[in-house]
Amino acid sequence: MKFAQLPSWWLSTKETWEAPPRHTLAELHWRDHRAAGICALLILIMLATRLNEVVRAARKAGKPDVDTVAVTWTELQQATGHARATVGKGIMLLESWGVIKVKKVGRANHYQLVRVHEPGYWCALPTEFPEKNGDAVSRFRDLPSTQLGLNALKLYVVLLARRSTQYNTTSLSFNGIIRWTGIRREDIRKAWGFLDGQQLATVSTARDSRHNKLGDDDQSQRYALIGLTKGYTKEDLDLAALEKKTDEVLYRAGLPVPAPPRNGNKQNHDAEVASYAKHL
């Protein structure tokens, strides 16, 4: 699986005796920032993807990693689909969060992704499946320039940032989503509907030791990120859809394969497995 390093440290601040922890995305409101909030998150995703290409090339040439990438305003406008003024506001938002620093070099701006290579300060951003024809944000092309669009992007970024590297899924309750993103409870399902529909993320039914610890008190959902979570890649989707090897897909993903019904009706069992695999 290919992924870029997306800075995630800026999403929250630690709690101190003077103040409770702050969550940046929860302060990113549609009423205050409108499309600039959407544009800011799209720009960050694009910059992380472009920087990943630069770093890979540098490593192949035996050069040290860099944290800065050159991108023109025209490229930013084309990638995000937003006007120049909105792109400018998006960049200002990213600068105010401290996640990027901008330096003018000739006709292009050089964007530094702050602390992008420091362990614990970044999260994995899938690049192999979400991007298309070199377009890092192609799967967000149908993102509406509304509060729904902003909510969907905020939710996606938090699911990436909160993904457990041990379990390879994100465990979040609705209360956790509200705390991290500020999305109203009644709007969470709408935001999730976009991510699920665009095959950016899906619900994982696999159980893990977190369930054993919390039992019935565990109110969180397990979210799998397409392109990051094992068994949830483009190849797995194609394998399930085209070759119909659904049992193999489920087994390789570590997911439970539905048992045949007691009456031994294999046809119904195969249909149940095929239906289940569509969610991969």
DSSP for 132-158, please give it. Answer: BTTBTTGGGTT--SSHHHHHHHHHHHH
Q: Are 126 and 81 in contact (CB under 8 A)?
A: no
Neighbours of 70 (CB within 10 A): 15
Q: Is the pLDDT of residue 51 over 90?
A: yes
CA dihedral 186, 82, 141, 151 (to 10 degrees): -20
User: Please, what is the angle between helix 35-60 and helix 147-161, to 10°?
Assistant: 40
Joined together, the tokens standing for residue 15 give 């709690």
Highest mean pLDDT among 88-92, 104-108, 224-228: 88-92
State the pLDDT at residue 242.
47
138: which residues sit within 8 A by CB, 6+ positions away?
Answer: 130, 131, 132
Neighbours of 89 (CB within 10 A): 18
Phi/psi for 132 (5° steps) reads -145, 125
Q: Bigger pLDDT: 272 or 216?
A: 216
- Quick one: pLDDT band at residue 277, thresholds 50, 70, 90? very low
C-alpha triplet 246, 247, 248: angle, nearest 5° = 90
Residues facing residue 170 across a β-bridge: 223
How many helices and strands in the chain, by DSSP H and E? Answer: 11, 8
- Quick one: pLDDT band at residue 6, thresholds 50, 70, 90? very high
Write out pLDDT tens, residues 57-92.
Answer: 999 999 999 999 999 999 999 989 999 999 999 999
